[in-house]
Amino acid sequence: MNKLKRTLALMAALAMTATAFVGCGGNDSSSTSESKAESSAEDSSEADADSAEDSTAEEESSVESAAGYTNVDVPALGEPDGSLKDGGDKLTILCWNDDDLKYMYDIVADATGMDKSMINYKNVGSNGTDANEQYAQVFLSGDDVDLYFCDADWNMAYQNNDEYSAPLSAVGISEDMYANAYDYTVAMGKDKNGVLKGASWQAAAGGYAYRADLAEEYLGVTSPEDMQAQVGSWDDFWKTAATVYEKSGNTTAMADSLGGVWRAYSNGNRTKSWVNDGKLDPSSVGDFISMAKENFDKGYISGATQWSDDWLPQGQSDGAQANKTFGFFFPTWAIAKGGSLEQAEGGEGGSTYGKYALCEGPTSWFWGGTWICVYPKTDNAKEAGQFIYTMTADADAMQKYVDVRGDFVNNKGVMSATTEAGTNSNPLFGGQDQFQILFNSADKIDMSIASEYDAKINTDLQNAVQDYCNGVTASEDDCLNAFLDAIAADVTDITVE
């Protein structure tokens, strides 16, 4: 981390392009694994040891871009407007795990002077998809909540509900603070009236994380560039899948799950929203059902279901699920420190730790992201604003998060500088810099087709396709009808024909 800071400072000095980004001193992933019960920031201090750096002048210097994008100055955090309560003793953050949050405690405390023991996290004991319904129960219970993390599949539903979300302006946050953010994250943070209700600390571009050792053995591939040449389109991907399956003795699937293929296909190929003029538009399914069924039957897609117990162990070379998949469709948050890829490798010392590499895959795509929202019944308006500003607008703080967490933050200047510096080395990929692969994809993310119903629709489609592939339904028409019936039952305020 220190080395990266020094490198960036030196590059900025040589280029003579120093433009100060002034942060105010004194915010998901969408990773979806389960975590421990409610805890405070004090309990997670050991996970944050790496972020407690010496306060050298270089480390405190503003972050500069050396790859074509320089951060512009943004306003300092404003004062709360008085519409929300203040003075509470704990800043309570509602989330489904602390995979991201535990890296934020020290960063926020250092930037704001806030005692990190004040930051408290409340876990709903669920995953990112199910948290959608769990949050509503927490709000009804009257439990203390100040901030909460929202998944991309359902953040719009919460932001469009004034009983669940307050304007960020109420805690001193304004839209012009996000001049350096990826545009889609700002658009997704607004409610139907254009009011900014959520802010994101990350951009969630996706890639194809593959077993580099198996790629060399089965395909003769020794670099991500050569791998990309073999999976650069869906046709190429399935053609290569046939080779992998044959060379592995019909044991290794190219794709980790139907859900993984759907995430890449959906967010890389769809061009229309699921819901238009209050009606479901099933044309967004495209040729996914037939593509999924054909390649599942051939053994090119694993039979494991995302988030099930047999999903991630497929990525290891030992155990009952050994070598069941050649690769995973993973977004940025899944390949960060402590994310899904690390679990798939068996952790440090695991059978495939460091034996993966990353390429873009058959399409430029994304999966999820997390927005921080303010609960209108907060009693800590000041600290809520400080937390959001630090993690989503303060470039220096966001650079620290990149360094310690390895996630792709929602700041073009920070990621441009990090990519250009070339000092990032991800041990999960044997030292490969994942940002070099994902940087261009992040700028292509377009969530203009998102709707507040995406969580239910995506879940119901994946369930219907899984049933079709497993023989529960007999035909593509039956699969589509099962999907439509499920949506009609689950989403009653839209028309399903």
The confidence band for 67, taking pLDDT boundaries of 50, 70 and 90, is low
**8 A C-beta contact, residue 155 and residue 178:** no
Tell me how far apart the alpha carbons of residues 245 and 307 are, in angstroms, rounded to a whole number: 24
346 within domain boundaries: yes
Percent of the chain with pLDDT over 70: 86
- Tell me the per-residue pLDDT of 81-102, one tens digit each, with 9 for 90 and over: 999 999 999 999 999 988 999 9
11 burial type by CB count under 10 A (0-12 exposed, 13-18 middle, 19+ buried): middle
376 within domain boundaries: yes
> Strand pairing of 91-95 and 147-151?
parallel
Quick one: 106 and 141 in the same domain?
yes
496 within domain boundaries: no
378 within domain boundaries: yes
> Strand pairing of 327-331 and 205-211?
antiparallel
Quick one: 66 and 115 in the same domain?
yes
DSSP summary character for residue 51: G
- Which pLDDT score, from 0 to 100, does residue 219 have? 98
Q: How many CA atoms lie within 13 A of 433 on its CB side?
A: 13
Taking the mean position of all CA atoms in its chain, how far away is CA 114? 26
DSSP summary character for residue 365: E
Quick one: 361 and 378 in the same domain?
no
441 within domain boundaries: no
Quick one: 214 and 338 in the same domain?
yes
Quick one: 354 and 331 in the same domain?
yes
Taking the mean position of all CA atoms in its chain, how far away is CA 492? 29
6 within domain boundaries: yes
CATH number of the CATH domain containing 387: 3.40.190.10
Whether 259 shows a pLDDT value over 50: the answer reads: yes
- Which pLDDT score, from 0 to 100, does residue 400 have? 97
**Sequence-separated (6 or more) residues with CB below 8 Å from residue 310:** 304, 320, 321
- Which pLDDT score, from 0 to 100, does residue 268 have? 87
Tell me how far apart the alpha carbons of residues 450 and 151 are, in angstroms, rounded to a whole number: 12
Quick one: 190 and 211 in the same domain?
no
Tell me how far apart the alpha carbons of residues 174 and 78 are, in angstroms, rounded to a whole number: 8
Whether 230 shows a pLDDT value over 70: the answer reads: yes
Quick one: 289 and 374 in the same domain?
no
Whether 243 shows a pLDDT value over 50: the answer reads: yes
97 within domain boundaries: yes
Quick one: 304 and 381 in the same domain?
no
Mean pLDDT confidence for 253-271: 95
State how many domains the chain has.
Answer: 2
Q: Return mean pLDDT, the chain.
A: 88
Q: Output the CA–CA distances (angstroms, integers) from residue 118 to 63, 89, 106, 146, 389, in the order listed.
A: 28, 7, 12, 12, 17
- Tell me the per-residue pLDDT of 374-410, one tens digit each, with 9 for 90 and over: 999 999 999 999 999 999 999 999 999 999 999 999 9
Strand partners, 199: 372
Quick one: 450 and 359 in the same domain?
yes
Q: Taking Cα atoms as reference points, which of 326, 318, 334 lies closest to residue 302?
A: 326
Tell me how far apart the alpha carbons of residues 289 and 93 are, in angstroms, rounded to a whole number: 39
438 within domain boundaries: no
Q: Give the domain extent around 218.
A: 205-367+446-490
Domain limit, last residue, from 385, 405, 421: 421
Quick one: 44 and 132 in the same domain?
yes
Helix (H) or strand (E) holding 495: none
Question: For 224-239, b where at least 16 C-beta lie within 10 A, e where not — what string?
Answer: beebbebbbebeebbe
Among the ranges given (31-45, 131-145, 227-241, 311-325), the one the predictor scored with the smallest mean pLDDT: 31-45
Quick one: 173 and 270 in the same domain?
no
What residue type is 386 in one-letter code? Q
Q: Give the three-class secondary structure for 497.
A: coil
The confidence band for 223, taking pLDDT boundaries of 50, 70 and 90, is very high
Quick one: 407 and 485 in the same domain?
no
